[in-house]
Structure 1
């Protein structure tokens, strides 16, 4: 991705070089549970915290101070700031065209663990957006596991896709889509509620595609393949197959690999947010 020399956002808070706060720390099966339901967490980050607290018996662990940032870490910080700036420009334009004002979110980089308005989280959660404080949280070590455990190609545009996906959840919060989804889930069976969650996540993938469409001048050969590889790797079916050896469609909360790739590609091809009504198509 062509990003060097472009504007960097002022809305990134880099906590990788400071000590973390007290959070509930999960390992083993708990880490697996988080990974299964919360890769590219979105709304689910808030839902899983009480489960972790119960499983851990309310125990807390103090994280240690992180080491000074390497040149590679600093370079990645600049990249993240550049990508976030491009999401700001895209959604500023889209909201302005709709007669709305885009409220820019913050993005927090952390290592190990972090406190949020949605509760404590660890790097096992994967990147997620917390609607409570309207902040995206990312431990960049996640992307190494995305390659080693789930077979994604890697590359900088895979990271850009994930950032754009989480910003998609922020767009949904501002437009009221997330709140409407939660209301629609009330009184539904678990399977029906999960379908609504899938629709929300696929729409965030679609919005990531819309962002990519608006930033084609920065895209290089192979970038879209990197994004699609990441989308393929984090499909519910792909994760469940790797982690438990079989899939349970009624438990899907984010969509299959095929669905995630399809909606990203549709957003990239059309660049039109009106084409992203995943709720009408996921029934």
Structure 2
């Protein structure tokens, strides 16, 4: 099957991702890189890969939506895989995924396990709020939100898709919505799973704002989520501060929910944003 990987200055993680892909049991037909004009050596690394591999590089100066659209339009196998450039796959990923591959299934997402400071606090909070472990929490999130970290997609389920080009985030959930509107199933599974090795080095307020704005635009968020986000953020802030004494981490967690809620409100009020 074809594997589509979006890259942009991905050198800190891409090597680990490709090594895990090539060491896995996934039957690779072609690896399609959609690159956002990387300047950090990513393209040089791709060019250094084993020449026996069938590799295609497509350049894209847009965003995640335009890159995923180009990736979908470039695949030729009945099933293909979206794989993020900061993911590590286990060796037997496909062994567990193949049992879900049926004609009525449009996508199979392997639960993502995050390795970051933010995930550490999510782990602690998941025990308090939900009485479940972090892996189960991540899988349950996949029941609500469409993701593409390590996702097998039935090409028939996305034929004719036109991902709105302004979706720099939530383009993955749009794909899920399209698949389900066409009568196919989106399956969040565990196993398979993957390890997300990206580290959140700093909190990008614009990221969370646009997350809320576009999430509301495609009807993932609504008015009630504004209050839910604000309340959850305050509770998390209090718990993290009380348990760790780390004011900076507490505020960072709160800002995730604050800026998400502001983005939701902006969309509901009908205000447009243009962020380069």
Would you say same fold, with TM above 0.5?
Answer: no
Larger Rg: 2
**TM-score when scaled to structure 1?**
0.30
Higher helix proportion, which one?
1
Q: Which has the larger strand fraction?
A: 2
